[in-house]
Amino acid sequence: MGRSNISHLRPAGFDTFWFGVCYYPEHWDAETRALDAERMAAAGVNVVRMGEFAWDLMERVEGVYDFSLFDETIAHLARHGIKTIFCTPTAAPPRWLTVQHPEILRQDRLNTELKHGSRQHADYSHPTFREYSRRITEVLAEHYKDNTAVIGWQTDNEIYCHFSDDHSPATRAAFIAFLKEKYAGDIVALNRAWGTAFWAQTYGSFEEIDTPYENRPTYPNPSQQLDYARFLSETVARFQHEQIALLRAANAGWFITHNGVMSKTDYRGLFTQDLDVLGYDVYPFFDTNPTSRPCSHAFGLDRVRAFSGNFIVPEHQAAAGGQAPYFHNAPEPGEMRLFTYRSIARGADSVLYFRWRTCRFGAEIYWCGILDHDNVPRRRYAELSQIGGELKRVGPALLGTSVRVEVAFAEGDYAATEAHLTYPLGLPSEGTAAVWSHRWFFERGYAVGCVHPADNLDGVKLYIIPHWTVFDPAWVPALERFVERGGVLVIGARTASRTLDNQVTAETLPGCLAKLAGVTVEEYGRQNKGDLRPQKLQLGETEVESADWYEVLGLQGAEALATWTTRHLVGLPAISHRKVGRGHVLYVGTYFCNGALFDALWPVAGKLAGVSPQLVEHPAGIEVVVREKAGVELWFMLNRNETATRVPHPPLGQDLVTGTTVDGPCEIEASGVRVVVQRR
């Protein structure tokens, strides 16, 4: 099932660039729907996604199925050359099911039962809900197995997008079963792994264990919390696995995706290994700051590739989004197109917009689509058509390519992310530190991305691990080889300070990385507010005020690259450098959170690694990404400036967007895009 060769370099495997919209025929009468297929096809749409919230319509009464609306819609779209991705509708079980089986409702941390009336209220671990999930999936799979217009499936919808914890009796029982399996029935092993000697937590049997409750009354055990996070992920992976088995048994030719990326799911684990391609819903306007938005959007895309390579975007923001408490700014003319190309440049192998038409009722009446409530095509439809026309040329060229990455941030590890959440200490997360650091390289046009430490590091020259407290010693040999062969490894403070059980390691820090880095951590602490007791370090010519965290390094084969210059730290090593084989290891005894540090540190690391911006004289506001496969490079240049921008040294070749040739310095219009093909 699925594909287990998970790597950031993996293309999605489609033979077509799917370009489409999320479609909800159940929201509209026949008269309103009449022109939909024709209009979609005219805009270049070749796929729609549907069905994810329509279980109530498909099965109005238990066991009585009616798919006629969908059958007719699928057939009508197919006559216009548009295929369908159908969804298992389990994100919103019908009312008759929760009336009949109230025990399938999830419970929050106050053990309050969730209610029918929105979505995601059913318990993924409840055997009864699982049975109903399998049943509707099987009936749908059987119904559509010979329908050639249905090309693939999305499982459920954004699992855990609203919240993930569940403390229902069924979940507790499933948690106990998960732990029994993990610890092979050995309660002593669990007590050891969780350190239950602290605060009298020792368990006599697995049956005594509960799900961890935050603030009831106070802090829970971080080892228990990490196992609970693993359990929540395992639960939805198994839930999805059952649906996927049924879909594949009906038609092995379908591709299967899920639209993430949310919380409490290990997207490098079984959940994604079961899929043909991971889906990533892209909503850049959740970052309400237009200055950081391009970077947060880009980082999100790079991070998703660290899970499993190129992806499909089952939902791409097309317009202003609003749910009851908020309403995004509207993308200005050209912005939807610019976002789309950013998503494609950084790994989207297909894109569907959310949604075709703004719904007039329900909880998302202001979540706008391509068409407005009144069904009148306006500028968003025109922009869709423009992109659709361009992708007829760009799309086929993208198939089979992957994104070039020379500077990579370690990302995509479930335990690393979850461990921070169990014990944040008021510090930025490893992900936040990566976002800020990534931005420095992104703004300057480096080939920056994200790669998991267990992944293929070929092509990566500079690899940066930002503060991963939980760090698997099994990754170290590959990192050693990476450095021996000439790579530069930068390790952020606190990395490898905890075991896989989320206990502090017994080894001197940085634990399993101490030998490779050639340092020991002799003292550490949270940094005071800079204005009270500034802690500064000297790196080359620059004195930098650092932030959040300090470490004093003992040099065990490394040399000091930077030393502390203030308070009781004066003269002590802050950043170390060790030459290993043809490469280098830097250990940074502070947090990656500070522009001044980046300006001093990243040029040094970049120079050691031999990386530089991809364009000579990189113009500010131009984003550059290369997608490549054997013999072909596609150079994306995106101008996010509000004015035309001159690129003095662009790649030369045919531009697939405009159909013209770039044969020298070129000017890209405001919000303009070029995709230049170079053959080697």
Judged by CB under 6 A, the number of residues near ligand GAL is 10
Is residue 156 within the footprint of ligand GAL (CB under 6 A)?
Answer: no
Which position among 276, 302, 315, 413 is part of the footprint of ligand GAL (CB under 6 A)? 315
Stretch that binds ligand GAL, among 157-165, 203-211, 305-313, 452-460 (CB under 6 A): 157-165
- Binders of ligand GAL among residues 321 to 360 (CB under 6 A) are 321, 323, 354
- What is the DSSP annotation of 555-578? ESS-EEEEEE-SGGGTT-EEEEEE
The torsion of the CA quartet 272, 276, 277, 281, rounded to 10 degrees, works out to -80
Beta-strand relationship, 573-580 and 583-588: antiparallel
Please identify which of the residues 52, 59, 315, 383 carries the catalytic annotation: 315
Give the interface segment with ligand GAL, choosing from 155-163, 339-347, 420-428, 618-626 (CB under 6 A).
Answer: 155-163
Is 367 a binding residue for ligand GAL by CB under 6 A? The answer is: yes
| SS3 of residue 7 by DSSP | coil
Residue pointed to by tokens 């671990």? 125
Q: Which is nearer to ligand GAL, 348 or 605 (CB)?
A: 348
Residue 371: CA count within 13 A, CB half-sphere: 21
User: Are 225 and 258 contacting, i.e. CB atoms less than 8 angstroms apart?
Assistant: no
Nearer to ligand GAL, 87 or 464 (CB): 87
Structure-block tokens of residue 440: 């420095």
Instruction: Report which residue's Cβ sits closest to ligand GAL.
Output: 158
**Residue 315 annotated as catalytic:** yes
CB of 157 to ligand GAL, least distance (A): 5
146 three-class SS: coil
Q: Are 537 and 560 in contact (CB under 8 A)?
A: no
Candidate ranges 62-70, 132-140, 315-323, 473-481; the one touching ligand GAL (CB under 6 A): 315-323
Nearer to ligand GAL by C-beta: 281 or 390?
Answer: 281
Q: Minimum distance between the CB of residue 19 and ligand GAL, rounded to whole angstroms?
A: 19
Q: Check 158, 406, 411, 628 and give the catalytic one.
A: 158
364 binds ligand GAL (CB under 6 A): yes
- Minimum CB distance to ligand GAL smaller for 267 or for 436: 267
Q: Name the minimum Å distance from CB 261 to ligand GAL.
A: 11
User: How far, rounded to the nearest angstrom, does the alpha carbon of residue 653 sit from its chain's CA centroid?
Assistant: 33
Q: How far apart are CA 414 and CA 307, in angstroms?
A: 10
158 contributes a contact to ligand GAL by CB under 6 A: yes
Can you tell me the distance from the alpha carbon of 471 to that of 513, in angstroms, rounded to the nearest whole number?
Answer: 9
Is 158 catalytic? The answer is: yes
How far is Cα 143 from Cα 59, in angstroms, rounded to an integer?
Answer: 13
Q: Where would I find the H helices in 153-209? A: 169-182, 187-194
Residue type, 170: A
- Would you say 366 or 423 has its CB closer to ligand GAL? 366
Q: CB neighbours (10 Å) of residue 41?
A: 16
Supply the minimum distance, in Å, between the C-beta of residue 286 and ligand GAL: 10
Nearest approach, Cβ of residue 193 and ligand GAL (Å): 35
Residue among 227 and 281 whose Cβ is closer to ligand GAL: 281
Give dist(CA 56, CA 45) in Å, integer.
28
Number of H helices and E strands in the chain, helices first, is: 18, 30
Q: For ligand GAL, which residue of 133, 137, 157, 272 counts as binding (CB under 6 A)?
A: 157
Which positions are catalytic? 158, 315
Residues in touch with ligand GAL (CB under 6 A): 157-158, 161, 281, 315, 321, 323, 354, 364, 367
